[in-house]
Amino acid sequence: MGVRARATAAAVAVVALALAGSAFVLVGLVNRTIQETVTTAASTRVQEIAAGLDGRGASDQPVLGSEDGALVQVLRGDRVVAASPDLVGVAPLTAMTPGPGQEQASRVDGSLVGEPGDSYRLVVLGVNPSTGADRVVAVQSLAVAEDTAALVSRLALVGVPVLLAVVAAATWWSVGRALRPVEAIRARTARIGADDLSARVPQPGTRDEIAALASTMNAMLSRLEASAARQRSFVSDAGHELRSPIATIRTETEVAQRVGASDRTHQVVLDEAVRLERLVTDMLTLASTDEGHGRVGHRQDVDLDDLLSAERSRLRARAGLQVSGEVAPARVWGDPGALARVVRNAVDNAVRHSRGRVHLSCGPAARGGADGRDGGAWFAVEDDGPGIPVADRERVFGRFVRLDEARAREDGGSGLGLAIVRDIVTAHGGEVRFTDPQLLPGARLLVELPAQPPPGSSR
C-alpha cells in the first residue's frame, strides 16, 4: 500500500473506532434518559394520586383515568381499592410494600397489564393507611424509550458508514493533494542525470515538511553540482599539469635516441620524473580527501615543536638559505604523519618563494578560545619573498593556483601544496590563513590547531 492508501486506511480506522464508541454511548444515554423520564412521569403520577385520596382510599376517576399514558392502582393489602379503567379487574401489580412516603421502582413485563411482549416501568408509593389505602401503583410503557433507542441505533448503522465514506474520500483527496509536490519532486529527480546536475526539483511555496525536503534536495544537488564541477576542473587541471613533464621526458628521450644521451638529458629526465612523482602523489592525496578517505589517520598527542625543529634542521643543510626560529613547546591532537606533511608543505612553499631567509615559529595557543576548547597550538612560516596581495590570500589555497606561474613550474611546484595544507588542517578542526608579515617582509602562513579532538571524533 502506498502512503495515500495507508493514510486513508488509518484515518478511516480511527474515525470508525471513534464513531462506534460514540454511537454506543449515545444509544445508551438516550435509552437511559428516556427511561428516567418515564420513571419520573410515573412517580409524579403516584404523587398526584396519593394527594387526591380521601379517607376511604378512593380518588377522583378523572385522575385515575388521565390520558398521560400511566395506569394506576390504589391498593390496600392484597385488595385493589381503585384502578384505572384499563386495570379494572386486574390483580395487584406488585407485592412491594414501601413505607409511607417512600417509593420503589422496577421494570415489569407488559403481560401484567395485558400487553405481553412490552416492558413497563412500575413505581410504588407508600401512603398513610389513614387515607384508606397503603400503596399507590403506577405503570407506564417503556415502548417509547425502546423505540427511540432502536431508531438511534438504526440511524447510527446508516450514518456511520456514510461518515466513514466521507472521511475516506476527504482523506484520499487531501493526502493526494499534499503528496502532489512529492510526485513532482520524484519525477524531476528521475530525469536528473550525472551529465547535468544543474536541474533543481520544484519547491512548493508552503512552509511544511515537503518544502523543507525540496529545499534539502536542491541544496544536495547544488553540492553535487559543485563537487562534479570541482572534479571536472581537477581532472582538466591535472591533465594540463601532467602533460608538461611527460612532454619534456618524451622530447629528451627522442633527442637521446638520435644523438645519444648526455648528462644533461639524464638530469632533465630525472627532474621531470621527480616532479611527476610529486604531482601524482599530491593528486592521489586530494582524490582520497575528496572521497572522505585518507584525510586523517590515527590521532594522538603530537609535539608540534618537534615537527618545526625537524624542518629547521633539514633547511639548515641547504646552501644559500638562512633559517631562524622561535620554537616553544606546543602540543596538539592529530595524525602525526598528516601534521608532518602540513609543516613540510608550508615550509616548502615559503622556501620556494623566499629570497634566502625563512623564519619558523610555534607556541601554545591562548586558552578559552571561541570554539569552547582550551589549549591548542599554532605555528607560522615567514619568508622574505615578494609576499601575497591581500586579495589573493584566500585564492592561493585553491588547487593548481600559482601566483608566479613561471617560477613555480621552474621550482617544481604543483600548485597543490597549500590545498593539501588547508584540507588536513580543516580535518583536524583547525584554521590556516595568510596574515600580515611580522619579522620578514614576505608572506606569513599561520596555522592554528586544537589541543583536543574536534567534536564528534574519538580518541
**CA–CA separation, 400 vs 277, rounded Å?**
16
- pLDDT for 80: 86
Which amino acid is it at 78?
D
β 431-435/70-76 pair status: unpaired
- Per the CB < 8 A criterion, the answer to whether 75 and 89 are in contact is no
Nearest to 388 by CA among 376, 396, 380, 377: 396
Are 304 and 444 members of one domain?
yes
Cell of 166: 466521507
Residue 175 within any structural domain of the chain: no
Query: Do 280 and 305 fall within a single domain?
Result: no
Does 277 lie in the same domain as 327? no
| pLDDT above 90 (res 88) | no
Q: Tell me the mean pLDDT in the region 54-66.
A: 58
> In the predicted model, is pLDDT for residue 381 greater than 50?
yes
Provide the CATH number for the domain around residue 35: 3.30.450
Which of 272, 289, 306 is a domain's end point?
289
The reply to whether 153 falls in a domain is: no
Q: Which of 405 and 166 is assigned the larger pLDDT?
A: 166
The span from the CA of 324 to the CA of 384, in Å, is 12
Q: Tell me, what's the pLDDT at 188?
A: 85
How do strand 377-383 and strand 444-449 relate by DSSP bridges? Answer: antiparallel
Mean pLDDT over residues 280-292, rounded?
A: 65
Closest CA to 172 of 14, 7, 2: 7
pLDDT value of position 321: 87
Please report the pLDDT score of residue 407 as a whole number. 47
Predicted confidence (pLDDT) at residue 457 exceeds the cutoff of 70: no
Mean pLDDT, residues 17-45 = 88
What band does 289 get if pLDDT is binned at 50, 70 and 90? Answer: low
Determine, yes or no, domain membership for 326.
Answer: yes
Q: Which is more confident, 204 or 268?
A: 204
Specify the range with the lowest mean pLDDT, choosing from 178-182, 403-407, 420-424: 403-407
Residues 303 and 441 in one domain: yes
260 and 119 in one domain?
Answer: no
Containing structural domain, residue 360: 298-449
Rounded to two decimals, the pTM is: 0.50
Same domain for 303 and 443?
A: yes
Q: For residue 90, what pLDDT is reported?
A: 85
445 in the same domain as 302: yes
Mean pLDDT of 191-213: 81
User: What's the pLDDT score for residue 250?
Assistant: 81
pLDDT range class, residue 37, cuts 50, 70, 90: confident
pLDDT beyond 90 at 391: no
3-class secondary-structure state, position 156: helix
Instruction: Give burial (CB, 10 Å; 0-12/13-18/19+) of 191.
Output: exposed
Q: Which of 5-19, 237-251, 292-306, 406-420 is predicted least confidently?
A: 406-420
Cell 385522575 locates to 63
Please provide the size of the chain in residues: 459
The whole-number average pLDDT for the span 237-248 is: 69
Please state the domain count of the chain.
3
pLDDT at 394: 87
DSSP 342-361: HHHHHHHHHHHH-SSEEEEE
Give the count of beta carbons closer than 10 Å to the beta carbon of residue 368: 10
* Co-location of 318 and 282 in the same domain: no
End-to-end CA distance of the chain: 46
Does some domain include residue 168?
A: no
**Where does a domain end: 120, 147, 174?**
147
- Looking at per-residue confidence, does 438 or 298 come out higher? 438
| Same structural domain, 339 and 400 | yes
Residue-averaged pLDDT of the chain: 81
Asked if 321 and 409 count as a contact pair (C-beta separation under 8 A), the reply is no
- The span from the CA of 425 to the CA of 413, in Å, is 20
Cβ 103 vs Cβ 124: under 8 Å = yes
Confidence tier at 434 by pLDDT (50, 70, 90): very high
Quickly state the pLDDT bin for 190 (edges 50, 70, 90). confident
**What does the alpha-carbon distance between residue 308 and residue 340 come to, in Å, rounded to a whole number?**
9
DSSP code at position 139: E
Residue 370 has pLDDT above 70, yes or no: no
Cell 424509550, residue located: 145
**Packing angle, helices 143-191 and 3-51, rounded to 10:** 160
